[in-house]
């Protein structure tokens, strides 16, 4: 089978991404950390929110558009509108039926809980997306969960993938009509070491 390249066509957040990347680089330099990869919270740090589900946790947007508000209620102004169903977001706080979420760029705000789905998705290397749509970094989608397995496709940074399973090191994902394995550390939408069945 020949290799196929997936290209992320819709990049409506390019300016926001460039600003967020600049800020995250400065913040990382100040804090002595790298990247925006989500780190698994210690098991004892997991709290239970109003939904009785763990906080923090990853979810995805059920549909589009989804209004991101400055506070937990319709009286608060809309700060941003998500226009990509399936986009992974991290729930970091809950208040009644409202969820404070963070996206891959680090933007936070509040959405109604009914706008979210427990379906797990991920973005491939969002911290590697290059503004302006030039040649993007890519990752191999492999036919098995090891570095020497055959690549069935190359997935560009910023592409949305559906998570099927993760074993803590590799995730089996679906992108377009292809299924294969990607190293978990190259995804935003699954915590480091998290097992997803």
Tens of pLDDT along 77-111? 999 999 999 999 999 999 999 999 999 999 999 99
Q: Which letter does DSSP use for residue 197 in this model?
A: -
Domain C-terminal end among 85, 119, 153: 119
The candidate with the shortest Cα–Cα distance to 126, out of 4, 30, 16, 32, is 16
Query: Do the domain assignments include residue 86?
Result: yes
Residue 66 has pLDDT above 50, yes or no: yes
Residues 59 and 85 in one domain: yes
Average pLDDT on 147-159 reads 97
CATH number at residue 65: 2.30.30.40
pLDDT confidence bin for 24, thresholds 50/70/90: very low
Domain C-terminal end among 119, 143, 177: 119
Average pLDDT on 119-142 reads 93
Count of structural domains, the chain? 2
Q: Give me the chain's average pLDDT, please.
A: 83
CA torsion 129→87→192→18, rounded to 10°? 30
Residues 127 and 188 in one domain: yes
DSSP 11-66: -TTHHHHHHHHHHHHHHHHHHT--S-PPPPPPGGG-EE-TTSSEESEEEEESSS-E
Domain C-terminal end among 119, 143, 158: 119
Q: Which domain holds residue 162?
A: 1-32+121-197
pLDDT at res. 151: 98
């Amino acid at each position: 089978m020949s290799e196929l390249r997936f290209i992320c066509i819709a990049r409506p957040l390019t300016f926001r991404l460039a600003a967020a990347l600049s800020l995250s680089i400065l913040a990382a330099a100040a804090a002595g950390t790298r990247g925006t990869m989500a780190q698994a919270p210690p098991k004892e740090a997991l709290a239970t929110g109003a939904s009785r589900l763990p906080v923090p946790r990853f979810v995805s947007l059920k549909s589009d558009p989804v209004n991101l508000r400055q506070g937990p209620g319709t009286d608060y102004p809309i700060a941003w509108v998500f226009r990509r169903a399936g986009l992974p977001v991290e729930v970091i706080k809950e208040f009644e039926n409202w969820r404070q979420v963070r996206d891959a760029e680090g933007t936070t705000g509040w959405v109604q809980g009914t706008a979210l789905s427990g379906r797990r998705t991920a973005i491939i290397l969002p911290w590697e997306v290059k503004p302006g749509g030039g040649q993007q970094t890519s990752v191999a989608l492999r036919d098995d969960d090891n570095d020497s397995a055959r690549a069935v496709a190359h997935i560009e940074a910023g592409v949305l993938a559906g998570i099927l399973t993760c074993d803590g090191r590799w995730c089996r994902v679906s992108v377009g009509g292809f299924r294969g394995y990607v190293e978990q550390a190259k995804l935003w939408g699954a915590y480091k070491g998290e097992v997803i069945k």
